[in-house]
Structure 1
Amino acid sequence: MRNKILLAEDETTLSTIISETLEDEGYEVIAVTNGVDGLEAFRSEHPDMIIADVMMPRMDGFEMARHIRNADPDVPLIFLTALSSISDIETGFDIGADDYLKKPFKMRELILRIRALLKRRNVSGIREEALEKNEITIGEYIFDAIGNKLTHGSHVLELSRIEAMILLFLINHKGITVRSSELMEFVWQHDDYYNRNSLHGYIHKLRKHLRHDPNISIINLRGIGYRLAITT
């Protein structure tokens, strides 16, 4: 399922460029040109992320964000604006912005920030599920993402913190190929040659840990990354 992004931007040309670029990246975009329509779209479409200009007609981005934050304190929110004073930036973050991008900006920078925020939200969601249930089911296994434990039948295996982080990330993107660089940034906050070798070693260990269920596999797409596949 594609992540749904609500884009509230009254500059038609910029809105079109952002929408087309994000759709090319695989996102679904709902584009509106003012805060009133943005708030209505938020309530009806339940987007996974909000990107909002600040200076918009009918209702500005700050006011729209206040209403959204009252309804959902966790949905990722990025402000796009030409306003550059420290007080404006402080206002945005006080309202609950996760990020603040000044115009003009590079589309690649926006895409990277979107990916980072959605990744953080998705992983956080799985951790909350683990806290409530204290377990995540993976085929024949039960994974305790908080206690770093993997259970198969009566056998309980203690995972290292890094093994647990990698497994959690793969579960969160089950069936999707994740780039090695994304995994390294998530685990070590850095992508380099040494971490790449370490990642390969940890993947090898996780495959051994999961070998008792033949329906589970961690597929290596050479030069790209890994995919957790579970067949039934």
Structure 2
Amino acid sequence: MSETNTPPAPKLLLVEDDQNFGNVLRDFLANVHDFDVTLATDGLAGFEAYRKGTWDLCIFDVMMPRLSGFELAKKVRENDTQTPIIFLTAKAMKEDILNGFEIGADDYITKPFNSDELLARINVILRRSATPVDPKEEQTEFEFGQFHFNFPLRILTHTNAKGEESKEKLSPKEAQLLRLFAIHKNNVLSRSEALTKIWGEDNYFTARSMDVFVTKLRKYMKPDEQIEIVNIHGNGFQLLIKGEGASA
């Protein structure tokens, strides 16, 4: 009798302070759709659960006692830029949505929502996470112009002509975007590719958020006059290192 190797169920961490709603959502995801779901009912308990496990995806309510969803996500993103995070919130303010993406969210869904919509978003993110990675996408340290960029630590180091160093600690989204620019240096990085890989979708809010981060990265690049982030009209952006050709 042959055995089939069934892949393990994706592990989800759900942090929701409304116990009844959390139970319903957990049962929907676990009993109906076979996810391995752990439920925590406040931000601090959620962080303890996060530290004790390995997760394929996290779902954080924003308004919670002890630690808000935003505060919880910031703590997660201090050392983990990879685990996808979806925020749940009753607030639909543009500022909150942009703030969530800046912290490092992969998606943002407002209450009340259809549970099937949440399921669809979870599946999209999990499929994207499971996509085979191009070898170039595994690179974690980069040299361009007078800069060294350590992606895991999110540290951008500039060394001037006198050998003097200055360092910047980037936010998770700044680091992810700069990494894409560095991988594609001297080539065009399409807006759609960046939005899909970092924000999960190409829409008005994510495009606005990306423009904010491009402006921040341009400020970081100012000490090296040989580096410029160029707008490619109708397509995207290019991290241009003057004097270098397009990378392979």
Interval containing the TM-score (normalised by the shorter chain): 0.5 to 0.7
Shift of 1:128: 4.9
| Shift in alpha-carbon separation, 1:130–1:3, aligned structure 2, 3 A | farther
- Give, in whole Å, the separation in 1 of the partners of 2:134 and 2:49: 27
Name the residue aligned to 1:167.
none
Q: Which structure 2 residues correspond to residues 44-123 of structure 1 after superposition, within 5 A?
A: 44-123=52-131
Instruction: Name the counterpart of 2:17.
Output: 10
Query: SS in structure 2 opposite 1:101?
Result: strand
Q: Post-superposition shift, 1:20?
A: 0.4
1:127 aligns with 2:121: no
- Paired residue secondary structure (2:13): strand
CA distance in 2, matches of 1:68, 1:131: 22
- SS for the counterpart of 1:52 is strand
The separation in 1 between residues aligned to 2:59 and 2:134, in whole angstroms, is 25
Aligned to 1:79, the other structure's residue is in SS state: strand
What SS is found at the alignment partner of 2:133? helix
State how many pairs are aligned: 131
Secondary structure (helix, strand or coil) at the match of 2:108 reads strand
Deviation by residue 1:25-68 (Cα, 9 ceiling, x = unmatched): 01000100111111111111111100000000111000000011
TM-score by length of 1: 0.54
Q: Does the alignment pair 1:39 with 2:17?
A: no
Write the distance in 2 (CA, Å) between the matches of 1:97 and 1:28: 21
Cα distance in 2 between the residues matched to 1:73 and 1:110: 22
Report how far residue 110 of structure 1 moved. 0.3
What are structure 2's unaligned runs of at least 5 residues? Answer: 1-7, 139-248
Among the aligned pairs, what percent are the same residue?
41
> Structure 2 length as normaliser, TM-score?
0.51
Aligned ranges 1:139-218 → 2 under 5 Å: none
Q: Deviations along 1:190-227, whole A, 9 cap, x unmatched?
A: xxxxxxxxxxxxxxxxxxxxxxxxxxxxxxxxxxxxxx
> 2:21 is matched by which residue type in structure 1?
L
Measured in 2, the distance between the counterparts of 1:131 and 1:6 equals 26
Larger RCO (CA within 8 A; separation ≥ 6) = 2
Q: Deviations over 1:42-99 (max 9, x none)?
A: 1111111000000001110000000111121111110000011111111111101111
Which residues of structure 1 form unaligned runs of 5+? 133-232
